[in-house]
């Protein structure tokens, strides 16, 4: 992977960036994504944010190698503290857990007032990101789910404007599975949730061996209901 060839998941993220955007890539690692997007003419400028010294130095070297210093600013800092309000239109955060992505957005949400799009790729717990988006008036406008090197990734795209994709009757299930992904149910989606159901059934068996307290019985019932709902979607 380099500035010319991204991983499948990062190329999919790049394809969601509107033409002519000013980008902030948070947790940019080697800055491959912003370098790729600038090289392809997708963006006019970028900020590559990185909190750890090693990846920060890698990003600095990558940008210097390509002579993009005037167009891509590499900054060291935690989350959205690397940007100022109004500096960017689009923010990408890829390759972190859903809770961490949500925490980054929550901690820096005052920086988002002039941002028009969020492109988020949680490795796990995408439901936490969907929940944060709803609570903070961001509208989910698209989702992708792909498998790469044996790992399944979800990509969420949210804008300021649009129509809510959620239904009242299936809201919690759609937050969990993804309203767009539920409709498409591609091979990666089916594989992910079949695997999850297998793991949940193992937990149910563990509940069966536990002392049947009210708390245990409640958790078991909730899990059984979730298993039934997901299996209905997969059938």
Return the CATH architecture of domain 8-163.
Answer: 3-Layer(aba) Sandwich (3.40)
- Nearest-angstrom CA–CA distance, 129 and 137: 12
Structure-block tokens of residue 235: 């059938």
The Cα–Cα gap between 83 and 75 comes to: 9
Summarize pLDDT for 18-40 with one digit per residue, the tens. Answer: 999 999 999 999 999 999 999 99
* Mean pLDDT score of the chain: 96
Q: Give the global pTM.
A: 0.94
Residue 116 pLDDT level (bands cut at 50, 70, 90): very high
pLDDT one-digit tens code per residue, 117-161: 999 999 999 999 999 999 999 999 999 999 999 999 999 999 998
3-state secondary structure at position 148: strand
Within 13 A of 234's CA, how many CA atoms are on the CB side? 19
Contact 123, 133 (CB under 8 A): no
The gap from C-alpha 193 to its chain's centroid, in whole angstroms, comes to: 17
In the chain the beta strands, taken as DSSP E runs, fall at 21-26, 43-50, 72-76, 90-96, 117-122, 139-148, 151-159
């Amino acid at each position: 992977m380099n500035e010319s060839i991204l991983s499948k998941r990062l190329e999919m993220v790049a394809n969601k960036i509107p033409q002519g955007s000013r980008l902030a890539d948070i947790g940019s690692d080697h800055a491959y994504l912003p370098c790729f997007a600038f090289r392809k003419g997708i963006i006019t400028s970028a900020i590559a944010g990185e909190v750890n010294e090693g990846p920060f130095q890698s990003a600095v070297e990558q940008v210097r190698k390509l002579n993009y210093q005037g167009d891509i600013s590499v900054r060291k800092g935690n989350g959205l503290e690397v940007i100022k309000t109004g500096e960017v239109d689009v923010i990408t955060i890829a390759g972190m857990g859903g809770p961490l992505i949500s925490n980054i957005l929550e901690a820096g949400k005052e920086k988002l007032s002039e941002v028009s799009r969020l492109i988020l790729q949680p490795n796990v717990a995408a439901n936490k990101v969907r929940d944060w988006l709803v609570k903070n008036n961001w509208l989910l406008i698209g989702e992708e789910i792909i498998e790469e090197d044996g790992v399944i990734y979800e990509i969420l795209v949210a804008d300021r404007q649009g129509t809510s994709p959620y239904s009242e009757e299936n809201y919690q299930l759609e937050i969990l599975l993804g309203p767009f992904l539920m409709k498409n149910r591609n091979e990666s989606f089916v594989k992910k949730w079949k695997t999850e159901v297998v793991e949940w059934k193992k937990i149910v068996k563990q509940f069966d061996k536990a002392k049947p307290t009210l708390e245990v019985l409640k958790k078991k019932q909730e899990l059984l209901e979730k298993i039934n709902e997901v299996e209905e979607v997969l059938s």
